[in-house]
Amino acid sequence: MSDRIRTIRRKKGAAKPEPTGAAVEASTETDATVVEPAPVVASKAPPAASPPRIDAAALEAEAKALGADAMATLMASAEPVAPQPGQQVEGTVASITKTTVFLNIGAKSEGTIDRESLPEDQEIAVGDTLSAFIISAGTRGIKLAVKRSGAGSREMLEEAYRGRIPVEGVVDGRNPGGFNIMLGDIRAFCPVSQIARHAGEDLDGFVGQTMVFLITEFKERDVVVSHRAYAEGQAAEEATKTMDKLREGDVKEGTVVSVQDFGVFVELGGVQGLLHKSELGHGPDIEMPAKGDVVTVRVKSIDRAKDRISLGLKDPAASPWGAVGTDFIEGDQYTGTITRIMDFGAFVKLAEGIEGLVHISQLADHRVDHPRSIVKTGQEVTVHILEIDVERKRIGLSMKGDGGDGRAAWGKHKRDEPKKAQSLGTFADLFGDIKLG
């Protein structure tokens, strides 16, 4: 028997015994049954399965076969949204109980709306789509409020105040400092300056209206609201979109928000443009639009760097100056009426909304001490057009017998004309450069 076989049978840690004859014989019989262990052969792993091939054509056909509803369901099953307080969301009514409306907004859990906060005349059913604001989102769930639900309990009003969520209220009446606003059963106050962006003069017209407000102050007894803050927020968003889309030549309808001596400011979708009074005519009898009037205008130029928009009338030909250069041409002779007499000359009306200046040096072939010695208001005179400045809307006229030969004198007058700080009258003021802050 080999030493290797004996080593296999010996117990671990046992001392090696001296073999006796009997032991040797018994060991020999036992060892005869011991078989040499077969060499270990590593089993051959089955070949790895090849990755599945994607049939792009079949996948595209299956996607096209999905209906709109199925695709919407598939998209809705994507990563749930993380709701944030104050965020406006849209969802589908999942279920309705006596006290609560459950809205599926694509979050991990459904949002809840108190039924009492909804208008009594609003009928809703499962499957309807509602727009709401997130009041709170936490371990207690997602609490929602439609715009009108802010006018509920004080708890909801406080949540609307903290989350800057719009609430609807009714203008109940006026007081010396502003307006009484009813937010459901809770009375709030809106200062006069906060009732609108451009309130106008008819403040009584707001009484009885239902308007949207932001709560600007919330105390135990006092609730202060502002429609202006809400409207300006909306206007800021709208202005960004309008400026991105606005192009020169666009015809827009806008509202006059400010009337100045030099023109009117017109609001066009959150942005304001200037309609200069020269677009409306010339002379002292220009009829300016009033604040609140709706006018149709044409975008003449846009300075995006300075946020300035220059406006004209809808139809350029509708401006009195549309006839200048066609019906009124340099060098030609026309008949007009003296409208005003100044120390430096006389203004002549050539047509409705179009006036020109006859400088004192162009009133006669001889020296004139004062225009009144030559002409009087209302007098009909014959004039020649010396020069037309379309950009500045100026027309230089002459009553001299040489007609158009007075250009040199008129040009010298323009070069030597002193710049005066004081007003020279409506038409002269119009000639001055206009600088807007």
pLDDT at 352: 74
- Residue burial 99-110, b: 16+ Cβ < 10 Å; e: rest: eebbbebbbeeb
Confidence (pLDDT) at 52: 55
Cβ(77)–Cβ(136) below 8 Å: no
pLDDT for 258 equals 86
CA distance 265 to 311: 9
Task: Say if domain 248-318 classifies as CATH 3.40.630.10.
Answer: no
The answer to pTM > 0.85 is no
The structural domains of the chain, with segments of one domain joined by +, span 88-150, 166-231, 248-318, 322-431
Question: Are both 166-231 and 322-431 of the same fold?
Answer: yes
State how beta strands 141-145 and 223-226 pair.
unpaired
What pLDDT score was predicted for residue 251?
A: 86
Beta bridge pairs of residue 96 = 101
| Superfamily name with CATH number, domain 88-150 | Nucleic acid-binding proteins (2.40.50.140)
Distance between CA atoms of residues 303 and 75, nearest Å: 43
Q: Which CATH number fits domain 322-431: 3.40.190.10, 2.40.50.140, 3.30.1490.20, 1.10.10.10?
A: 2.40.50.140
Note down pLDDT in tens along the chain; length 437 residues: 445 444 445 444 444 555 554 444 444 444 444 445 555 554 455 555 555 555 666 666 666 666 655 555 555 455 556 777 667 788 899 999 988 999 898 888 888 988 877 777 778 889 998 888 777 777 778 888 775 444 446 777 887 888 788 888 899 999 888 999 998 788 999 999 999 987 877 888 899 998 989 999 998 788 999 999 988 888 887 888 888 888 888 888 888 888 888 889 998 877 889 998 877 766 566 778 888 888 888 888 888 888 889 998 766 555 667 667 667 888 889 999 999 899 899 999 888 778 899 999 999 989 989 999 999 999 999 999 999 887 777 899 999 876 545 454 444 445 444 443 443 443 444 444 443 33
CATH number of the domain at 166-231, please? 2.40.50.140
Q: What is the pLDDT of residue 68?
A: 58
Give me the residues paired with residue 309 across strands. 302
